[in-house]
Structures are given as C-alpha cells and as structure tokens.
C-alpha cells in the first residue's frame, strides 16, 4: 500500500495475535515476499477508482495468495471491484487488527495452513482409496472407513469438514448412518455427500429430504467429485469456526469447549485412559482494565490465549470459558501431572511483561484442576475445577490447586 498509509497499520497488535506482518510499499518488495514462499496472505489498500495501480497489481497476486483489500469505500461498486480483482475479502480502512485476524483465521489462508479434511465411508476399500487419491491431489486430507460402525470414532478423531458416503453398505445403509451422525448435536450441520449407483429419482429425493448435501451418481469423474466436495467443505469449515470459536482469542467458545470435553471424556473412558480438566482465571484483572483501559485488557487476554496455544500439546483442548476465565482439557493426564503442568504454565506466564498506558506490568493467573479420578461427568469435572480455582483465589492467587489433593 502507499507509503503514507503504512504508519496507520496495527502491526504491533497483529504480532500480538501471532502473525508476522511485513509492511511493503513497492510492487518489487511484494514480488520478493511472494517469491520467498512464506507469505500466507496479502493486504492491499485500494481506492477502487479507474486508475488504481494497487488493485491492478493485486489481481495478479490474488492468483498466488489470498488478497484482502482494505478500503474506505463500502459501496456495492467497490465490493464488486474487489470480487472481480479476485479479492478474498473487503475490510474497512483504517484497518482494525481484530477484523483482519478474523478474516485470516476463518478465510482461505486458514485452509492453506490446515487442509480441508474429508472422511470417506465406502465398503469397497479400493474405490475409497481411488476417491482419496483424487482429493489428496487437490490438497485435501482424507481418511477412509470401510465399516459403518467405525464412523463415529473416526469423526471424533479426524474432525472432518465433509463426509463422502456410499449409500449401500452391508449391515447399515447410508441413510441410517446419516441419521446416526445427525442425531449428535455438534454434527447436525456437517455436510454429507452420498455416492451411489442409485438412479431412481424418488429415492434420491427422499435422501435429499433427510438434509444431506447432495447425491453423486457412480461412476463419478474427478472434476465432479472435487467441485462437489471442496466448496461445501470450505463453507462448513468457515461456518463451524465462526460458531465454535471466540472472536477475540480464537479459542473454543463456552458451548463448543463443553461439547468437545464430552467427546474427550467418552474417548478416555473407552480407552481406559486418565483425563484432567483445568479452569484458569486472570488475577486482579479488573485493575488492569481500570488502570490501562479495556484495549490493554483485551491484549492481555489475547496474549494468554496465544501463550496457551503455543504450549498446547497434541490432543489438548483450550477454551475461553467466560470473560477472563479459560479452560483446558488434558487427555492422558492424571490430576498430579495436570497440576504440575499448570504450575509450570503459571510460572512461565507470570514472567511475561505486558505493555500498558501506565507502563509495563506483569500478570498472573490462578487455576483449579480436577480429573476422572474424582469426577464422573463433564459437569462434575468443570464444577470441581471451578471450586478449586476459587479456593486458589481465596488463598492468595497465583497458584494451582487440585481437587483430590485439596480434599484428601
């Protein structure tokens, strides 16, 4: 974008969200950044007037990375010009960091970082792997399941963005399996595409009436498969992330955290493995808002979210449970292991410095921990961890307490 506008970019705030923004004001620098291969997205200022060199240049860049246009214009003509230039989105000028972060974490660049996932349910393994090969060639990740009864576990483990399903399988047909999937609240909206030799219009219409996304008649050619799968999977991924995550921190929101906790709990029981839950709350956070203002308070919340994400281990869940309250699920950890880990996190976070209007400051959190040793349900896990969190607050803050050791 033009050099005189670069100073108005919220680069420091973007860095706070975990991005590495680079400000450039010449097409040559942009070309160099794109050639380097590390650039995930481009943000280009545009006035959307007839002679707008940035829009014209951006049209060529948009073929290589998602380009987000920023403009003071919000009218229809500007929106249309953005679409015609291949823009991934139109953001308001002056650019607000959280709007860009929202676009990047839900948009096309997010799918580039984390490929779309397709679960293929087909009793003929060779055919399933043929479909998988086609989708993999287009950059998608696939998993094949040949037995209907294995589908619920595969969904839990793989978290697909779309299910491609054979209609006729031994033991359980596709319609029944679709109903089993849809009856789970969190999976009600997942796109299901049927693959079948079925040509009877009545049967196809009955299938669509069930709320499945579509019907592909075998044999399906590669283009038809890919064009039916990618847009639907991408749309579901985007909608799900809008619904499941908190817009400030990008962590799971309250209800989705709780839903995923139930899934992890069931898995831990099935596999006979331990599981712990922790609730975290920033200490004296009201004073941060009062002293430095709400924007600095928001930056501390974002920093804690980013800190937790950076320290996240495979399989762990992190959610924003309430305003300044966060929640963690640690599959495979018993209470003692979880307390030790939370205490290490507490210690490391307390060493960070935050920048405020009234100078730099440190921030601590307290945490309560519970585990399957003492709690039998998701509700009980959260209740016990919460009770320990408030005991930690009452007894001095900046500490971690576990239910079983505190109540022994």
Give me the residues that bind ligand GTP (CB under 6 A), please: 248, 281-286, 289, 294, 297-298, 301, 323-324, 393, 397
Closest distance to ligand GTP from the beta carbon of 121 (Å):
41
Closest distance to ligand GTP from the beta carbon of 406 (Å):
18
Cα–Cα dist 387/99, whole Å: 36
Query: Which residue lies nearer to ligand GTP by CB, 254 or 397?
Result: 397
At 43, is the secondary structure helix, strand, or coil?
strand
On the CB side of 133, CA atoms within 13 Å amount to 7
172: tokens are 């359980």
Cα–Cα dist 350/343, whole Å: 11
Residues 6 or more apart whose CB falls under 8 angstroms from that of 116 comprise: 139, 140, 141, 161, 162, 230, 233, 234, 237
Q: Output phi, psi for 204, to 5 deg.
A: -65, -40
Closest distance to ligand GTP from the beta carbon of 393 (Å):
5
Closest distance to ligand GTP from the beta carbon of 397 (Å):
6
Query: Which residue lies nearer to ligand GTP by CB, 14 or 367?
Result: 367
DSSP letter string over 110-129? HHHHS--EEEEE-S-HHHHH
Query: Which residue lies nearer to ligand GTP by CB, 215 or 285?
Result: 285
CA angle 315, 320, 324 (to 5 degrees): 140
Cα–Cα dist 202/208, whole Å: 10
Closest distance to ligand GTP from the beta carbon of 385 (Å):
15
- Greatest Cα pair distance, the chain, in angstroms, is 75
Query: Which residue lies nearer to ligand GTP by CB, 297 or 319?
Result: 297
Query: Which residue lies nearer to ligand GTP by CB, 298 or 373?
Result: 298
Q: Where are the alpha helices (DSSP H) in 27-75?
A: 27-36, 53-61
Query: Which residue lies nearer to ligand GTP by CB, 182 or 397?
Result: 397
Cα–Cα dist 196/248, whole Å: 43
Closest distance to ligand GTP from the beta carbon of 386 (Å):
12
Query: Which residue lies nearer to ligand GTP by CB, 46 or 249?
Result: 249
24: DSSP letter: -
Closest distance to ligand GTP from the beta carbon of 170 (Å):
52
């Amino acid at each position: 974008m033009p050099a005189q506008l670069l100073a108005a970019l919220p680069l420091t705030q973007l860095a706070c969200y975990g991005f590495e923004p680079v400000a450039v004001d010449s097409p040559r620098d942009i070309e160099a950044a794109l050639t380097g291969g590390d650039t995930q997205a481009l943000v280009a200022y545009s006035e959307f007037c007839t002679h707008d060199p940035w829009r014209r240049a951006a049209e060529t860049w948009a073929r290589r990375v998602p380009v987000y246009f920023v403009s003071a214009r919000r009218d229809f003509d500007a929106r249309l010009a953005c679409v015609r230039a291949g823009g991934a989105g139109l953001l308001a000028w002056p650019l607000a960091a959280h709007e860009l972060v929202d676009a990047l974490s839900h948009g096309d660049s997010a799918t580039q970082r984390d490929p779309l996932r397709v679960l293929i349910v087909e009793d003929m393994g060779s055919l399933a792997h043929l479909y998988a090969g086609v989708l993999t060639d287009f950059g998608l990740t696939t998993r094949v399941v040949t037995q209907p009864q294995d589908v619920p576990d595969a969904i839990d483990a793989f978290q697909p963005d779309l299910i491609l399903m054979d209609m006729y399988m031994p033991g359980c047909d596709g319609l029944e399996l679709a109903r089993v999937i849809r009856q789970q609240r969190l999976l009600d909206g997942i796109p299901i595409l049927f693959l079948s030799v079925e040509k009877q219009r009545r049967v196809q219409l009955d299938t669509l009436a069930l709320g499945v996304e579509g019907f592909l008649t075998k044999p399906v050619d590669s283009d038809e498969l890919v064009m039916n799968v990618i847009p639907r999977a991408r749309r579901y991924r985007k909608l799900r992330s809008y619904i499941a995550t908190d817009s400030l921190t990008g962590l799971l929101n309250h209800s989705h955290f709780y839903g995923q906790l139930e899934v992890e709990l069931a898995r831990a029981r099935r596999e006979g493995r331990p599981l712990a839950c922790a609730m975290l709350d920033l200490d004296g956070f009201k004073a941060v808002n009062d002293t430095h203002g709400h924007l600095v308070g928001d930056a501390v919340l974002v920093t804690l979210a980013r800190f937790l994400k950076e320290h996240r281990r495979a399989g762990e869940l992190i959610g924003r449970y309430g305003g300044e309250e966060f929640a963690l699920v640690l599959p495979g950890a018993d209470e003692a292991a979880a307390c030790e880990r939370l205490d290490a996190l507490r210690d490391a976070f307390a060493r960070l410095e935050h920048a405020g209007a009234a100078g730099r400051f440190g921030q601590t959190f307290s945490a309560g921990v519970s585990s399957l040793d003492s709690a039998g349900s998701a509700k009980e896990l959260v209740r016990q961890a919460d009770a320990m969190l408030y005991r930690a607050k009452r007894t001095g803050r900046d500490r971690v307490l576990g239910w079983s050791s505190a109540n022994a």
